[in-house]
Structure 1
Amino acid sequence: MRIRNAIAAVGIGSALAIGGLAAPAQAASARVYQGDDYAEWDNDTSVYGEYVTVCDRERDGNGVYVKVWLDDGYEEFGDANGSASPCSNRSYGFGSVGSIQVCEDEIGPDWCSERRYV
């Protein structure tokens, strides 16, 4: 009787493990900071692609922009309304964003975060 229960327990555990492997893919994201300013990449499988957001969170008069390296090039865009809400974002096709970096527009060299590969 104990052997039969042990076999049943193993079978149930195996079924749960296999079921866990079949779970739908989860959303992924990556965020980089320059002070309180940030840029974020999001790949949510429930939507139609990838999104990059840039957010100016400092009321210091300096603009904030994100550098986006794509499979077919490179682009930058800024938080269009400065430190006011909401943040700015753009959408891209699945798998097209390679990395992001957020920068604060300064007199002289801009201050930038590390480049984050996604």
Structure 2
Amino acid sequence: MRLRGMIGVAVLSTTFIVTGVAAADASPAVDQDFAAFARIYAKHGSDYASTTGTWVEACDIERDGNGVYGEFWYGSTGHTQVWDGNGSDGGCGNATLAGKVTRFKVCEDHVGCSDMVYTDF
């Protein structure tokens, strides 16, 4: 007997999201069991920056003429900015860092930045 047709498989995933922190001493805790799978976000309007530990991304979602970048601190002394170089056109700016991100924020030119987001990778 031959089986005809297609069998579809749906895969659901869970994303851990942090949208900001009100105070520097009130950092959200990332459960270490989930840290390997976590993607943490900082949002400013519709624009965002995110990290999975050493991989980082900045995305300009708004067509408003304001550039967007993520500012990331990693390891014990590392610091960098990652820009979404093509504005709100498709795609985002990303990079792989030499250490795990300890804190980050997303900024929009001429508008401001999100609250600092603290990680515990």
| TMscore range, shorter length | 0.5 to 0.7
The structure in which a higher percent of residues are strand is 1
The structure in which a higher percent of residues are helix is 1
Q: Which protein shows a greater Rg?
A: 1
2:97 paired residue among 81, 88, 92: 92
Aligned to 2:58: 54
Distance in 2 between the 1:76 and 1:103 partners?
10
TM-score, normalised to structure 1, is: 0.66
Q: How many residues align?
A: 86
Are 2:103 and 1:116 equivalent residues in the alignment? Answer: no
Could you list the runs of 5+ residues in structure 2 that have no partner in the other structure?
A: 1-32
TM-score, normalised to structure 2, is: 0.64
Give the drift of 1:26: 4.4
Are 2:80 and 1:75 equivalent residues in the alignment? Answer: yes
Aligned to 2:8: none
Kept in 1, the 8 Å contact 2:71–2:105? The answer is: yes
Assess, with a 3 A threshold, how the Cα gap between structure 1 residues 60 and 25 changes in structure 2: closer, same or farther: closer
Aligned to 1:20: none
Kept in 1, the 8 Å contact 2:70–2:107? The answer is: yes
Could you list the runs of 5+ residues in structure 1 that have no partner in the other structure?
A: 1-22, 44-49
Q: Secondary structure at the match of 1:59?
A: coil
Give the drift of 1:113: 0.4
- Larger relative contact order (CA 8 Å, sep ≥ 6): 2
Give the drift of 1:24: 9.6
Kept in 1, the 8 Å contact 2:107–2:114? The answer is: yes
Kept in 1, the 8 Å contact 2:56–2:95? The answer is: yes
- Structure 1 vs Structure 2 CA RMSD: 2.0
Assess, with a 3 A threshold, how the Cα gap between structure 1 residues 85 and 53 changes in structure 2: closer, same or farther: same
Give the drift of 1:82: 0.5
Distance in 1 between the 2:117 and 2:79 partners?
14
- Superposed structure 1 runs of 4+ greater than 3 Å apart: 23-26
